[in-house]
């Protein structure tokens, strides 16, 4: 491969993974923008979405659906869309339940209390995923090794769309990431800007007390925010599983850290910032893996984050806020 081909290949990898990271980052930034809570359990909600996807595939009896002769058929595209919707709904409901049971009673508690509660929920969800990995199903290895990574079947045909003679590889998995994530991001942006509930979210984010005085049901707005953030995490978990062909009970830690970093990098509380941050983290990781060394990738990512926060504390697209003394 020429240097140009290597660079283009890394761009494809970086943008594909970056889009997935951006979806998870949107959940972080939405919740923080509304209730100023760093929901560390968000990455683990993402993990359970992947386990739901694998359970559905296993329950459907993947033999017929995942026959190599049918890879790339329309039926598998519909299966992918169905997985995105099912896992999105599951994670949305789960996220809303966590808010109702854990976060809502602590809404007026000190921020440290809320943060510790979020970490506690994270540990609970990690262990649920660990137990889930021991499910006695073929796709889970018969339940013999609960902690081991699980192979996620290829739902789409894996040949190179640019031709088998091309050194740059573009697969249907890469295309599917963009076909799923871009409409979700556009839909979220339009929802927040154009709908009544979206305006309520923006008002609550700017001034919760003022929003209540104007008749906005802030509890409803917060619940909707958790549902939407959870839905995006569920959709991202399907794309992650499909793109990387593996899931594990700890995958939410890596994805969650990348997504949180992306949200802070772009500007916590900013939807466009989360999108830009996710893409940047994806590309930086891909380039570091290729041109430096994989073991230094985390150092590079967090060094970039520190530099951004030193010279622009509000993030790339975050709004500077005046603090009253």
Span of 55-64, 70-79, 80-89, 220-229 with lowest mean pLDDT:
70-79
pLDDT band of 144, cuts 50, 70, 90:
confident
Give dist(CA 259, CA 253) in Å, integer: 10
What does the pLDDT read at residue 95? 95
Say which residue, 157 or 84, is predicted with more confidence.
84
| 232 within some domain | yes
| 299 within some domain | no
Specify which of 86-90, 106-110, 241-245 reaches the highest per-range mean pLDDT.
86-90
Look at the chain and report how many structural domains it folds into: 1
Average pLDDT of span 202-214: 86
Instruction: State the CATH number of the domain containing residue 143.
Output: 1.10.3470
Say which residue, 312 or 240, is predicted with more confidence.
240
What does the pLDDT read at residue 36? 83
| 270 within some domain | no
What does the pLDDT read at residue 238? 93
Tokens of 153: 């079947």
Domain span at 46: 17-265
pLDDT band of 205, cuts 50, 70, 90:
confident
What does the pLDDT read at residue 320? 59
Read off the pTM. Answer: 0.89
For the chain, where are the alpha helices, taking DSSP H only? Answer: 3-35, 42-59, 74-98, 111-132, 172-194, 196-206, 208-213, 218-244, 251-266, 271-291, 297-311
What does the pLDDT read at residue 73? 54
Residue 71 has pLDDT above 50, yes or no: no
| 230 within some domain | yes
Span of 116-130, 146-160, 217-231, 270-284 with lowest mean pLDDT:
146-160
What does the pLDDT read at residue 244? 87
Q: Is there a contact between 129 and 249 (Cβ–Cβ < 8 Å)?
A: yes
Please choose, from the candidates 100, 146, 99, 150, the residue with its C-alpha nearest in 3D space to the C-alpha of residue 127. Answer: 146
Give dist(CA 199, CA 226) in Å, integer: 16
Average pLDDT of span 38-62: 88
pLDDT band of 321, cuts 50, 70, 90:
low
Give 104's DSSP letter: G
Residue 15 has pLDDT above 70, yes or no: yes
Give dist(CA 220, CA 200) in Å, integer: 9
Residue 151 phi, psi (nearest 5): -75, 130
pLDDT band of 75, cuts 50, 70, 90:
low
| Averaged pLDDT of the chain | 86
| 285 within some domain | no
| 283 within some domain | no
| 273 within some domain | no
What does the pLDDT read at residue 64? 45
């Amino acid at each position: 491969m020429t240097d140009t081909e290597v660079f283009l290949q890394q761009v494809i990898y970086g943008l594909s993974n970056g889009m997935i990271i951006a979806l998870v980052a949107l959940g972080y930034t939405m919740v923080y923008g509304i209730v100023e809570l760093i929901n560390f359990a968000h990455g683990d909600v993402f993990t359970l979405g992947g386990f739901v996807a694998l359970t559905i595939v296993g329950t459907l009896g993947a033999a017929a659906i995942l026959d190599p002769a049918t890879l790339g058929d329309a039926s598998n595209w519909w299966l992918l869309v169905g997985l995105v919707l099912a896992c999105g709904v599951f994670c949305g409901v789960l996220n809303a339940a966590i808010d109702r049971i854990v976060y809502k009673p602590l809404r007026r508690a000190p921020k440290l209390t809320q943060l510790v509660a979020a970490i506690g929920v994270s540990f609970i969800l990690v262990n649920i995923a660990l137990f889930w990995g021991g499910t006695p199903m073929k796709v889970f290895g018969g339940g013999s090794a609960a902690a081991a990574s699980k192979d996620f079947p290829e739902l789409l045909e894996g040949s190179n769309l640019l031709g088998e003679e091309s050194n740059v590889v573009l697969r249907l998995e890469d295309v599917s990431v963009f076909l799923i994530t871009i409409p979700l991001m556009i839909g979220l942006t339009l929802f927040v800007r154009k709908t009544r509930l979206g305006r309520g979210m923006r008002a609550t984010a700017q001034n919760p007390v003022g929003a209540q005085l104007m008749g906005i049901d802030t509890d409803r707005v917060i619940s909707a925010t958790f549902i939407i953030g959870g839905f995006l995490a569920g959709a991202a978990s399907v794309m992650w599983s499909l793109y990387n062909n593996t899931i594990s009970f700890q995958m939410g830690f890596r994805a969650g850290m990348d997504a949180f970093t992306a949200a802070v990098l772009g500007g916590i509380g900013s939807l466009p910032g989360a999108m830009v941050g996710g893409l940047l983290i994806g590309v930086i990781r891909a380039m570091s893996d290729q041109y430096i060394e994989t073991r230094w990738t985390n150092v590079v990512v967090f060094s970039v984050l520190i530099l951004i926060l030193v010279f622009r504390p509000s993030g790339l697209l975050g709004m500077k806020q005046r603090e009253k003394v």
